[in-house]
Amino acid sequence: MSILLISKLRIWDGSTGKVIIPAISFELNSGSCLAIVGESGSGKSLTCRAILRLNQRNIRQSGEIVFQGERIDRLAENEMRRRRGKQLYMIPQNGMRAFDPTSVIGVHLRDTLVHHFGWNRSEIVEKMKLAMQSVRLKDPVGIMNKYPHQMSGGMLQRVMISLAIVLEPDIIIADEPTSALDTVSKYEVIEQFCRLREKMGCSMIFVSHDLGVVRKIADEIVVMRDGNIVERGEASVLFAKPQHEYTRHLVASHAGIHEHFNRVIGGPAYVSR
């Protein structure tokens, strides 16, 4: 059963009239992780921000966005703000952009949780401590008193995941959450996303160009190119038998990089030689 339905979403630049996404349709099933993949400029991030109506003012959109049976594309902005965070939660690709650089991390966390729940300071600190510890962040109180620039990208992503644990949203939209991370941090963050799904059973849209990450987390995949969806299907089927030429190129490129990595480090395929 679908929890989110996108129908004939069209996105264009209001200042130039240039169409960026002609018309795409897809759905997210309840409890499922849908990955949107494609190269940079394919329209992945624009699509995600359009769901939450977070694109820049000059970017216009039309089409239907139905969340739990409700046309949220028709909602007034104050109604939409109530749904952002609590029901529809977005984790951006650069954790630094999610926080006000002039305030400590705790200010953002408190403002968000007071807005949605009205909790007092001690309640917020206690709930965030537990959530941050669950994603292996040490000294949660110390972290809440740090500025964003004092933390690594991987730590900021884990703070965002811990906030999701407290908010318990229906849908998490993760827009290239590992693109700015080193290999070790990327692995740790993906492990936390997997645990988050197990813990909450929430639905997820996971945007990435990294097919290794997508293979680990996605149930279904939508492949985008130049603003269009060129292929979609179950992750296992799409990786095994991609139909579109562009999808075959993406899968083959990923396989080639993986093989090269194994060759360099003497991985399983080469140990016996």
Tokens of 112: 């968000």
pLDDT digit of tens for each residue in the chain (273 aa)? 899 999 999 999 999 999 999 999 999 999 999 999 998 889 999 999 999 999 999 999 999 999 999 999 999 999 999 999 999 999 987 777 789 999 999 999 999 999 999 999 999 999 999 999 988 899 999 999 999 999 988 889 889 999 999 999 999 999 988 877 777 778 888 888 888 888 888 899 999 888 888 998 999 999 999 999 999 999 999 999 999 999 999 998 865 444 433 444 455 554 444
Give the pLDDT of residue 259.
Answer: 45
Give the pLDDT of residue 186.
Answer: 80
Q: What are the structural domains, with CATH classification, of the chain?
A: 2-241 (3.40.50.300), 242-273 (no CATH)
Full-model pTM: 0.87
Give the pLDDT of residue 262.
Answer: 44
Give the pLDDT of residue 194.
Answer: 86
Long-range own/partner contacts, residues 41-46 (CB < 8 A, 24 or more apart) = 41/226, 42/224, 42/225, 42/226, 42/227, 43/11, 43/224, 43/226, 43/227, 43/228, 44/175, 44/176, 44/207, 44/224, 45/93, 45/175, 45/176, 45/207, 46/11, 46/20, 46/21
Long-range own/partner contacts, residues 4-7 (CB < 8 A, 24 or more apart) = 4/28, 4/51, 4/65, 4/66, 4/67, 4/68, 4/171, 4/203, 4/205, 5/64, 5/65, 5/66, 6/47, 6/51, 6/63, 6/64, 6/65, 6/66, 7/63, 7/64, 7/65, 7/66
Give the pLDDT of residue 67.
Answer: 97
Give the pLDDT of residue 170.
Answer: 94
